[in-house]
Structure 1
């Protein structure tokens, strides 16, 4: 039985920008666009406040643990800012989409480009540097 995905919270501004981004890449990257739009559709969209600050949003730095017990810290960014060597993960990658909207102590299963399913658990979320 498939594990239910955790509830996610996304700010209105991230929702609007990410919807446009998904639509803009839909012809070149249809599967990625479809996956991102599906996550946006299931998200609770809120204006702002403490609820959003505790959730992973664009620019957030997140520390997560893999199912193998490895910890990693990354920052969720738009594709033009992505740099894997600097820990900046594009929201158009499978793990970037999976992280979007999660909060500390939530876990999610996500499928990598090679078709392998992984699980991660969010340990902490730092809000974006304003």
Structure 2
């Protein structure tokens, strides 16, 4: 099943998500609406511009849940590798970032080589370039 992109942001490319992960992310966004409406809105925007795919059809260079993402912050030049995880598994000291953070929401569905402008926690815009993606072992 494929969900067609309805409203791509002018500066945000179409993203790709695993269909079952999309359902889980939507449930998280709904649960976050009252506690953190900004993050919930960011997740809804990402879901709205996503093309959905079965896990078996997802290319290995797409950021999905539980994958490792190597990216560069274009402003600072800082390069990091983070694992994108669900909130219960988040641990920044272990480089595991929650999908419920602005950066986590910005990374989901991106493809290696792409860049995205995304607000950080302070509201400043950051340009992140995806250098590489390592899919989870169970995908």
TM-score, reference length from structure 2: 0.87
Distance 1:8 1:117 in 2: 19
User: What are structure 1's unaligned runs of at least 5 residues?
Assistant: none
Q: Shift of the alpha carbon at 1:53?
A: 3.0
Q: Shift of the alpha carbon at 1:128?
A: 1.1
Which of 76, 80, 84 is the matching residue for 2:92?
84
Deviations along 1:11-39, one digit per CA (max 9) or x if unpaired, are: 10110110111111111111111110111
Distance 1:36 1:19 in 2: 7
The two structures, once aligned, show a CA RMSD in angstroms of 1.4
SS in 2 for 1:32: helix
Distance 1:108 1:3 in 2: 11
TM-score, reference length from structure 1: 0.93
User: What are structure 2's unaligned runs of at least 5 residues?
Assistant: 1-8
Deviations along 1:52-98, one digit per CA (max 9) or x if unpaired, are: 43211110101001112221000000111111111000001010001
Query: What count of residue pairs does the alignment treat as equivalent?
Result: 129
Q: Please identify runs of 4+ aligned residues in structure 1 that moved more than 6 A.
A: none
Which of 100, 104, 108 is the matching residue for 1:100?
108
Distance 1:50 1:88 in 2: 25
